[in-house]
């Protein structure tokens, strides 16, 4: 039911704004089964070493990095809650936020939320250039059992009015498919490798060098192969 298709993030001097697009293109209405939740985990933008962190999601899933804060709304509740990591590796409720609660569009599956910057900083403020790892999650209620359904990690840097747009880390998404002409080979047999490489960034790439290296059991073998490529951006 819930799968994060794409995440957008921006900030002003007061809030961090996040948009989460559900892959199905739809979501349940308020207080209508199946229930879902949107959860955003964040590291302290001040990187204080004196507060607790955990790599465990609210329902037991695995986060991409240790996180300090959690902001969540469930589709059967009007409450927008903040939690902090505790000494047991879980989450402790802190408060219900007075800011605008997350909203969603049932017809498009788009969820939008805002997080006060004061709530993701141990000092109460974050200068432009301050950064944090974050996880954006959609969870759902499967017949009475809540599940951390899909967790997407981002790296966010606080921007100012002169900052240029950043398009996030796309590492790991450039290779669309990779196949070989056989499952096993005899020694000294030639191997044919077919791969589709795409450009998931928001700008076209021209005259870039593509390098393919080979390892066997963690040890480099053979010589790298290089090619010059130009890739149009993928339009979603």
What's the pLDDT tens digit per position in 177-232? 778 888 888 888 888 888 877 665 545 667 778 888 888 777 888 888 888 888 76
**Can you name the CATH fold of 4-157?**
Immunoglobulin-like (2.60.40)
pLDDT top residue among 214 and 57: 57
- Tens-digit pLDDT profile for residues 109-139: 999 999 999 999 999 999 999 999 999 999 9
pTM of the model: 0.71
CA-to-CA dists, residue 227 to 120, 141, 176, 180, 211, angstroms: 44, 48, 17, 19, 7
| Phi, psi (degrees; rounded to nearest 5) at 174 | -80, -30
The residues of the chain that CATH labels 2.60.40 are 4-157
CA distance 93 to 136: 18
Closest CA to 152 of 140, 138, 173, 166: 138
With 90 as the cut, is the pLDDT of residue 167 above it?
A: no
């Amino acid at each position: 039911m819930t799968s994060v298709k794409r995440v957008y993030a921006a900030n002003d001097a007061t809030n961090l704004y996040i948009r989460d697009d559900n892959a199905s293109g739809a979501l349940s209405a308020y207080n209508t089964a199946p229930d879902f939740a949107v959860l955003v985990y964040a590291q302290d933008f001040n990187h204080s070493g004196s507060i607790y962190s955990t790599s465990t999601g609210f329902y037991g899933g695995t986060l991409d990095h240790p996180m300090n804060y959690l902001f969540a709304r469930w589709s059967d509740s009007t409450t927008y809650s903040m939690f902090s990591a505790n000494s047991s590796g879980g989450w402790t409720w802190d408060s219900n936020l007075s800011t605008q609660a997350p909203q969603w569009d049932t017809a498009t599956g788009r969820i939008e939320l805002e997080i006060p910057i004061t709530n993701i900083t141990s000092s109460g403020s974050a200068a432009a250039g301050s950064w944090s790892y974050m996880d954006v999650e959609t969870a759902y209620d499967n017949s009475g059992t809540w599940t951390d359904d899909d967790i997407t990690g981002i790296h966010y840097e606080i921007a100012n009015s002169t900052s240029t747009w950043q398009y996030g880390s796309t590492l790991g998404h450039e290779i669309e498919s990779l196949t070989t002409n056989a499952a096993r080979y005899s020694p000294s047999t030639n191997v044919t490798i077919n791969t589709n490489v795409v450009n998931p960034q928001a700008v076209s790439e021209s005259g870039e060098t593509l390098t393919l290296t080979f390892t066997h059991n963690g040890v480099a073998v053979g010589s790298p192969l290089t090619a010059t490529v130009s890739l149009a951006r993928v339009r979603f």
